Each structure stands twice: as C-alpha cells, then as structure tokens.
A and B are shown apart, each in its own frame.
With several copies, the nearest count.
Chain A
Amino acid sequence: MLSMTTAAIDPDALRKKLFDAAAGGYCAFEGWVRNENDGHTVLRLEYEAYEPLAIIEGDKIFAEAKREFPFLHALCVHRTGMLEIGDCAVWVGVASPHRDEAFRACRYIIDELKVRLPIWKKEHYADGHSGWVNCERCAQHGRAGSPT
C-alpha cells in the first residue's frame, strides 16, 4: 500500500508494521536527497504529487509485484514538499518468507513507482537555478521562454 506524506518519514516505525512470524526475509529501500545530480550541486529538492492518481497507480504496482513475487506485506511512503539533503524522499519495505521475493518485489515497486506515479521533483541548485528532473525539453523551453 502506498501513502503520501509531507512529514518526515520514520523508517523504523514503518519497518515494524511489516513484522510477521512467517517472514524470513525483509528488504527495504530508501531514496535520499543527495547533494549532486548530473554535475550540479543540489541544495534541496521539491516534490510535487497528484495524490489521487498516485495512490491508484501505486495500488496497481503493488498488485503486480505481489502477483509476480508473492510476499507477505509491503508498504511504501512517498514524501512531498521541500526536502533537504539527506532527507528520505521515499521508503519501500517488503517482508516475505524468503529473501528472493523480498528483494525482487522491493526493486519492482521502486522501479515502477519512479516512472509511473504522477510525482515530480524540482532540483534547486547552488548557482540559484532550479530545474524539473526528467523534463528536459520543457526545461529547455522554460529556460528560453521564462526565467523559472
């Protein structure tokens, strides 16, 4: 199940929700805001999401992952708003009887989520500029047409 939050993500609290006496393997992934991208020094990241459709698409991704790599429990929390370097932007956790399903389902969920969810991130650079990630052509246009 996917949820969105504007508050700091608490991985330890989320992890505990996945405990199950039948689970032998647990895999977690966290996306952290890092200080560099494509040679630019990044100061902070701004995440915007359209939550109603993000939740629906997230449910589809979880259902696909469970069909492909049967697991016991999985959770994902994605944060939005202005994040600082080192902040956790997204957390995914999966518990399953054996480790293979936990690793594969966790990887599947984060991979799909990054390309399918209506979530956008804007990098704020040390040089004062900012740019939307993965939006090169509109960013080019933006640079030509408006000083955003």
Chain B
Amino acid sequence: MKTITVRYFAMFREHAGVAEETLTLDVGTAADVFECTKERHGSAEPAGHCKVAINDEMADWSAVVSDGDTVLLFPPVAGG
C-alpha cells in the first residue's frame, strides 16, 4: 500500500467534493490512481482525454507512483 495525495481540478474537484485528499492505495501507476478515484467519486472521462502530473511534473499514465507522491488529475483542458 502507498500513501498518495491526490489533487483534483475543475470538474474532477466538483465530483470529488474536495480539492485534495490523501489516500492509502494499492496502486502501481498513475492510471491506477485515476481508476481508484473514479470508483471513489465517479467520472465517465477516459484517461486518454485527461492529463496527469506527479509531483508537479507532467507524466504519462503509465508512470509508476511512489509512496508519498502527489498525483494531479487534470480533466480535458480548454484555455483561451
């Protein structure tokens, strides 16, 4: 089990009802973290449309998360 801090943005934050939470999860990759949060809070958004960062660096969904990491979940963007 790993202790992971998850930060939610925009729609994801609204779904979760919190901007940030620290969870104890049995996960390997960033994609696993995303799946866990979907089970927890719901979302039909596929990972392919979303982006993820680990400890303030953009990452692939296949990136391995380590105990103590902060994972940022970004729904589809629309700047400008």
Give A residues with C-beta under 8 Å from B: 31, 47-50, 52-54, 57, 78, 89-90, 99, 110, 113-122, 132-135, 137-142, 145-146, 148
Which residue of the partner chain B has the closest CB to A78?
A: B79
Cβ B14 vs Cβ A118 within 8 A: no
* 25 CB < 8 A contacts A-B: A31-B80, A48-B9, A48-B10, A50-B9, A53-B53, A53-B72, A78-B79, A89-B80, A114-B78, A114-B79, A115-B77, A118-B77, A121-B78, A121-B79, A132-B75, A135-B76, A137-B44, A137-B45, A138-B12, A138-B15, A138-B43, A141-B45, A145-B15, A145-B42, A148-B14
Q: How far is the CA of A19 from the CA of B77 in the complex (A)?
A: 26
Q: For chain B, what secondary structure do more than half of its interface residues adopt (helix, strand, loop), or is it mixed? A: loop
B25 beta carbon closer than 8 Å to chain A = no
Which of B9, B12, B49, B80 has the largest count of A CB atoms less than 10 A from its CB? Answer: B80
Which residue of the partner chain A has the closest CB to B14?
A: A148
Min CB–CB distance B60 → chain A (angstroms): 15
Give B residues with C-beta under 8 Å from A: 9-12, 14-15, 42-46, 49, 51, 53, 56, 58, 72, 74-80
Cβ B56 vs Cβ A120 within 8 A: no
Question: Could you say which residues of chain A place their CB within 8 Å of the CB of B77?
Answer: 114-120, 134
Cβ A120 vs Cβ B42 within 8 A: no
Q: How far is the CA of A50 from the CA of B71 in the complex (A)?
A: 13
Question: Could you say which residues of chain B place their CB within 8 Å of the CB of A134?
Answer: 76-78
Among B42, B49, B53, B78, contact of A119 (Cβ-Cβ < 8 Å): B78
Min CB–CB distance B16 → chain A (angstroms): 11
Which residue of the partner chain B has the closest CB to A132?
A: B11
Question: Could you say which residues of chain B place their CB within 8 Å of the CB of A133?
Answer: 78
